[in-house]
Amino acid sequence: MSPQLLFWVPAALRFLVCVAGVGIIWFFFGATAGLLVALLSMGALAFTQLHYLYRLGSWLDNPGQSKLPDGWGAWTDIFARLYRLRRDDEKNQTELAEWLARFRQAMSLLPDGVVIMDDVLFLEWCNPAAQKHLGLQLDRDKGMRVTNLIRNPAFIDYIILGRYEQPLILSLQERKLIVQIIPFENRRQILVTHDATESERIDMMRRDFIANASHELRTPLTVINGFLEIALAQPNLAPETRTAHLTLMTEQGQRMQNLIGDMLTLTRLESVDYPLRPERVQMKPLLEGILEEARALSAGKHVITLDVDGPDLQGSLDELRSAFSNLVSNAIRYTPLHGTISISWERKGDGAQFKVRDTGIGISPEHISRLTERFYRVDKSRSRETQGTGLGLAIVRHVLIRHRATLGIESVPEVGSTFAVLFPANLLIEEFVPQKDSVSR
Ligand SMILES: Nc1ncnc2c1ncn2[C@@H]1O[C@H](COP(=O)(O)OP(=O)(O)O)[C@@H](O)[C@H]1O
Ligand SMILES: [Mg+2]
């Protein structure tokens, strides 16, 4: 049935009942009584309508608290509909509040900062990342002008110029921030901040590395080119001079090759697509091989000892060989004639330790923390003289990180240095020694 019929049919029926009642009274008791009853019932009807209108009015004043009456006649349906509307509204409000809470939580987990401001830059809301990036504090700064809170000339210029299509790169509290303002609705603006400190640092490291590597490669290349030019210009050089030139060129070529080899090793160690493939590394043969190489490098100029008294390791043989031989070759190269180099492998605490101790030139304390940086050298010319690339300890550091081992450096200038590598217990391979009484008969 249509809503009109639903309303009018019962109303008409109620009216007809009234008319019929009045007619009956009129018939039996005369016109006066009939008219009196008609008047009374019209009055009662009008009073009922007014009563419910009043109840509706007072409910509307305070829809949350007061209760809706059940109503009479057409009012029953109206009150039922109002009640339903109210219930839907409450449900919507709860949903909305939940959504808002979820949205705020998502915003607070965002690594980027979000600040909401009105059209004249008064702070309305911001997330924790924005507080951290811009040094804001929502409860303290709410309602303040953002340009009074972030007193940075570049930021203020950005706001004044209003060229918001381009982000602004801002140095703030030792951070590099990428800041952008996005107008939204027509009376609000969002300020978004992105912390680019880390990516900037990586970029800078990459630029430094390329600059350093090019510089390192250019020196030997210049030497080689110089001799080649001499050879071209003076084809009749004395054989001894020629041999001397060729020897120097070979040395420089070797230096370039070492450099490129170390650079490739470093790149591979840093690459995420190159996971560690652990295998059993037998320490005794490995260290004996390194000792032999060390004796060849030293050519009888040093006393070198090896003491192996530790378990085998779980790790990458090639990487560990490269790390250990870097440490040993450093010890030889930075130890003068007749010095002593002691290499040892032994248990230490739960783990095991590889140690190289030398009686060499030593390192002053201010250099020690920087030794594992790429191309960092205390004495550039000494490092070059001995075919150093400045990448050895950087390689060692990467290999050790991959094996979760740590490097300890102790050194006293003019006395000597100790480089100690500590491996955690879970990399050690413990031999199973069967006990006599547990052997089955
Ligand atoms: N055993 C050592 N004694 C003294 N100085 C050392 C020793 N090992 C490393 N160094 C210093 O650390 C620097 C960096 O070492 P490394 O990265 O292996 O590069 P390099 O190719 O120059 O040996 C060296 O240039 C040297 O100054
Ligand atoms: Mg080295």
In this prediction, residue 392 carries a pLDDT of: 95
Q: Count of H helices and E strands in the chain?
A: 14, 13
Which phi-psi region, left, alpha or beta, contains residue 422 (left: φ > 0; alpha: ψ -120 to 50)? beta
The number of the ligand nearest the C-alpha atom of 372 reads 1
Residue 349 has pLDDT above 70, yes or no: yes
Quote the ligand 2 centre to 250 CA distance (angstroms).
Answer: 20
Give CA–CA dist 121/104, Å, rounded. 21
Cβ(334) – ligand 1 distance below 6 Å: yes
On whether the CB atoms of residues 326 and 258 are closer than 8 A, the answer is: no
In this prediction, residue 125 carries a pLDDT of: 92
Cβ(330) – ligand 1 distance below 6 Å: yes
Enumerate residues 6+ apart whose C-beta is below 8 A from 167.
178, 179, 180
Q: Which residue's CA is the nearest one to ligand 1's atom 7?
A: 330
Quote the ligand 2 centre to 300 CA distance (angstroms).
Answer: 20
The predicted-structure confidence for 307-322, as pLDDT tens digits, reads as follows: 999 999 999 999 999 9
**Which of 366, 393, 397, 415 is the best mutation target for the ligand 1 pocket, counting ligand atoms within 8 Å of the beta carbon and taking the most?**
393
Kindly write down the DSSP assignment for every residue of 317-336, as one continuous string: HHHHHHHHHHHHHHHHHTS-
Cβ(358) – ligand 1 distance below 6 Å: yes
Residue 104 has pLDDT above 90, yes or no: no
Share of the chain above pLDDT 70, in %: 98
Amino acid making up residue 197: T
On whether the CB atoms of residues 294 and 329 are closer than 8 A, the answer is: yes
Q: How confident is the model at residue 7 (pLDDT cuts 50, 70, 90)?
A: confident
In this prediction, residue 116 carries a pLDDT of: 93
The predicted-structure confidence for 166-182, as pLDDT tens digits, reads as follows: 899 999 888 899 999 99
Check whether domain 110-195 has CATH 3.30.1490.190, yes or no: no
What is the assigned CATH class of domain 206-270?
A: mainly alpha
In this prediction, residue 434 carries a pLDDT of: 61
pTM beyond 0.85, yes or no: no
412: enclosing H helix or E strand: strand 406-412
Domains 110-195 and 206-270 in one fold? no
Query: Measured at the alpha carbon of residue 240, what is the angle toward residues 239 and 246, in degrees to the nearest 5?
Result: 85
The predicted-structure confidence for 382-428, as pLDDT tens digits, reads as follows: 877 777 889 999 999 999 999 999 999 999 999 999 999 999 999 99
Name the phi and psi angles at 228, rounded to 5.
-65, -40
Cβ(339) – ligand 1 distance below 6 Å: no
Q: Which pair of structure tokens corresponds to residue 318?
A: 């090639």
Matching CATH number, 279-429, of 3.40.109.10, 3.40.228.10, 3.30.450.40, 3.30.565.10: 3.30.565.10
Sheet holding 312-315, edge to edge: 279-281, 312-315, 428-429
Q: How confident is the model at residue 441 (pLDDT cuts 50, 70, 90)?
A: very low
Cβ(71) – ligand 1 distance below 6 Å: no
Residue 221 has pLDDT above 70, yes or no: yes
Quote the ligand 2 centre to 372 CA distance (angstroms).
Answer: 10
In this prediction, residue 439 carries a pLDDT of: 46
Nearest Cα to Cα of residue 231 among 242, 223, 247, 239: 242
Domain boundary assignment for the chain:
3-52+69-98, 110-195, 206-270, 279-429
Name the phi and psi angles at 343, rounded to 5.
-110, 135
Give CA–CA dist 289/247, Å, rounded. 29
Quote the ligand 1 centre to 362 CA distance (angstroms).
Answer: 9
